[in-house]
Amino acid sequence: MKLSESQESKVRKALLQHGKHKKSYFWTPFGNAANRRDTESRNTWRVAFTNAGIDYAYESDVKLSAKNYYYKGRFFVDGEKRTVRAFENLLGDTK
């Protein structure tokens, strides 16, 4: 189940995003509404790929209010929600 360079890049990007935002409930947004919407659009995205006939996907969803920072990172394997470990295990051979 060797990942291609493109797939490995997608996995690393998802793990980096998740690692950066998983403790974001401690954060307080700053700036005006336009800055908050810009931050949301830059940090809300989806990545998906297929490896060895298995579909993998990650969804990053960031929402900011005037007082709170909300992040949801969801990992999917064949359409079923999984933990971050599903993606971490993909890099087991390449670490």
95 lies in some domain: no
82-94: pLDDT as tens digits? 999 999 999 985 5
16-32: pLDDT as tens digits? 999 999 988 878 888 89
0.95 surpassed by pTM: no
11 lies in some domain: yes
The answer for 34, left when phi > 0, alpha when psi is -120 to 50, beta otherwise, is alpha
What's the domain range around 14? 5-90
- Which residues pair with residue 63 across a beta bridge? 70
Total structural domains within the chain: 1
12 lies in some domain: yes
